[in-house]
Chain A
Amino acid sequence: MDNNIIIANKLSCKFHDRQILDNINFEIKKGKFVSIVGPSGCGKSTLAKVLVGLIPYEGYVNVCKMNVCPNNIEEIRKNIGIVFENPDNYFVIDTVEDELAFTLENLNKCPENIKKLIDEVVTYLKIEKLLKKNINELSGGEKQIVALASVLIAKPKILILDEAFTMLDGESHQVLLKLIRKIHQDKKITIINVTHDMSDTIYSDEIIVLNKGKIILDDSKENVYTQDKKLKTIGLNLPFMVDLSKRLSYYDLVDDMVLNMNTMVKKLWK
């Protein structure tokens, strides 16, 4: 119980007459990488927004040991960083450096400290070259990394990604996904990855599957991957390597789940 950084109890959410979230219960442990997946319209983005107090709800939600209510929202938001689908929607200033400083100025940090923190995050994410650039000059992938930087700089305890990979092309999609895994490993922060794409779940510890506002699976990644029939009924496909492992195991060619392509080739052709 003490280890839970997020607790939702009998959480419901209505929009006009539609029940978006329907009496859901879950807990997320501190430091876990959790993916929340489901088909379009299942309520996953609504759920992410409830956690940061952007949407009214019924029931009980607790984030970082605080009840999500108007009195606590400011304090809760200091602990949560959220990256959305389209970075163009939330940049406010021209250059990358000023954008990063903006986050910190809002948190009343002193100028020397701001400089130090910017240096730190920029070095960590290896975006020194982008620092003086105008945000409009950046590619989609670079913009999303800057968005991530502007969130990480405040040292959040929880990082929420709300369809953050959707607009990126193949290569930058993989770069960002691997970067998130690195951040999770290095910084030990809790990651909540909201996505409609099962292949974005391969680095997570746990997966929560939502459909029509209800949780239909909430388990370790490995256990969720064994439920392929259930996933299929709501239109979700297994990630390629999971699917391949599973099909090869029917023919007794491999005996466990292999997520890495190199390892798979080595195993098959010993």
Chain B
Amino acid sequence: MEIKFKDVDFSYNGNTSIENKVLNNININFESGKIYGIIGKSGSGKSSLIELINGILIPTAGKISVGKFKIEPKSKQKNMKQLRSNVGIVFQYPEEQFFCHTVKEEIEFGMRNFGIKTNVISKQTIDALKIVDLTEDYLERDPLTLSHGEMRKIAFASILAYNPKIIVLDEPTVGLDDLGKKNLIKIIRKLKLRYDKTIIIVSHDTNFLLQIVDHVYLLEDGTIGLSGDKYTVLSNEERLKKNNILVPDILAFSNLVMKKKNIKLGYRDDINDLIKDIYRHVK
């Protein structure tokens, strides 16, 4: 499902003396089957941007279309159920939001809320568990007794279960160890290739983004500062540094070689390819 932002502004306390403009003239197209990264320092408008996608926030100017659904300044929040069933947002530390006694109830909650037919609920629950590489054995367990990594997976599964076409992940790698990140990358790739989802990831972990996204947007003070393929944006040392963001290690190395030796290694997302490039130039 496609998402289009056309000339979108967003302010908190709009039209009052304490108006705080957070997003300014945003134009973005998110296409289906692609993975997008959103970077920017705290306060740059990242969270507001993703909350506009499912109508938690309503734009103060411009228009957002999510598939056939339109969100405009005069839209009413109460008509958003159909939209929200298509946009799954996994917030930072999703495990802190658990409130059911079993994994089964937790995953089913979203589906019941969106009125999904009872006879398919248990099948979709199991399917969602499969996508995140967990078995049916987890169904009767108490989510609060699971490990960090498992809790993340359950939170992710509870979103996937109602089959939203758009998936938004907010800082998904914070607190995850290397294995957790590796599993997450596997799940996201599966969602892209096999399920054709539109995936949007907000993260400051640029090493992680480099491995998984196609396109990156840099938000600077509520506007799109940079937009481009992952290599172009994530290798832009000067602009990223200004925004407190580190260039991924592999790209930083290529940049340094360019700067010190004036040798163009090219940009890679896999360390093995970088090694081959170095070998070619040094030998």
- The residue on A at minimum CB distance from B245 is A170
Is A41 an interface residue when CB atoms closer than 8 A count as contact?
yes
Do B257 and A140 touch across chains, with their CB atoms under 8 A apart? no
Across-interface contacts of A253 in B (CB, < 8 A): 278-279, 282-283
Is B20 an interface residue when CB atoms closer than 8 A count as contact?
no
Is A243 an interface residue when CB atoms closer than 8 A count as contact?
yes
Across-interface contacts of B177 in A (CB, < 8 A): 39-40, 196-197, 235-236
Do A169 and B42 touch across chains, with their CB atoms under 8 A apart? yes
- The residue on B at minimum CB distance from A236 is B178
Q: How far is the CA of A256 from the CA of B204 in the complex (A)?
A: 32
Is A55 an interface residue when CB atoms closer than 8 A count as contact?
no
Number of A-B contacts (CB under 8 A): 95
Nearest chain A CB to B221 CB, angstrom units: 15
B-contacting 9-mer, from A74-82, A216-224, A261-269: A261-269
- The residue on B at minimum CB distance from A267 is B282
- The residue on A at minimum CB distance from B43 is A139
Do B244 and A244 touch across chains, with their CB atoms under 8 A apart? no
- The residue on A at minimum CB distance from B179 is A235
Nearest chain B CB to A130 CB, angstrom units: 17
- The residue on A at minimum CB distance from B252 is A261
Is A240 an interface residue when CB atoms closer than 8 A count as contact?
yes
Across-interface contacts of B256 in A (CB, < 8 A): 261-262, 265
Most buried by B among A169, A248, A265, A268: A169
Is A237 an interface residue when CB atoms closer than 8 A count as contact?
yes
CB within 8 Å for A40 and B180 given contacts A169-B204, A247-B272, A265-B260? yes
Task: Find B278's partner among A41, A196, A248 (CB 8 Å cutoff).
Answer: A248
Q: How far is the CA of A236 from the CA of B241 in the complex (A)?
A: 28
Taken residue by residue from 218 to 250, chain A's Cβ proximity to chain B (1 for < 8 Å, 0 otherwise) reads as 000000000000000011110011011001100
Q: Which residues of B, 240-283, contact A by the 8 Å Cβ criterion?
A: 241, 244-246, 249-250, 252-253, 256-257, 260-261, 263, 271-272, 274-275, 278-279, 282-283
Is A95 an interface residue when CB atoms closer than 8 A count as contact?
no
CB within 8 Å for A268 and B204 given contacts A139-B42, A235-B178, A251-B275? no
Taken residue by residue from 159 to 183, chain A's Cβ proximity to chain B (1 for < 8 Å, 0 otherwise) reads as 0000100110111111000000000
Question: Can you sample 29 A-B contacts with CB below 8 Å?
Answer: A39-B177, A40-B149, A40-B176, A85-B175, A166-B175, A169-B42, A169-B204, A170-B206, A170-B245, A171-B244, A172-B244, A173-B246, A196-B175, A197-B177, A235-B177, A235-B179, A236-B178, A240-B271, A251-B279, A253-B278, A253-B279, A253-B282, A261-B253, A261-B256, A262-B260, A264-B253, A265-B257, A268-B282, A269-B261
3 A-B pairs with least C-beta separation: A235-B179, A170-B246, A240-B249
What residues make up the interface of A, taking CB atoms closer than 8 Å to B?
Answer: 39-41, 85, 139-140, 163, 166-167, 169-174, 196-198, 234-237, 240-241, 243-244, 247-248, 251, 253, 261-262, 264-266, 268-269
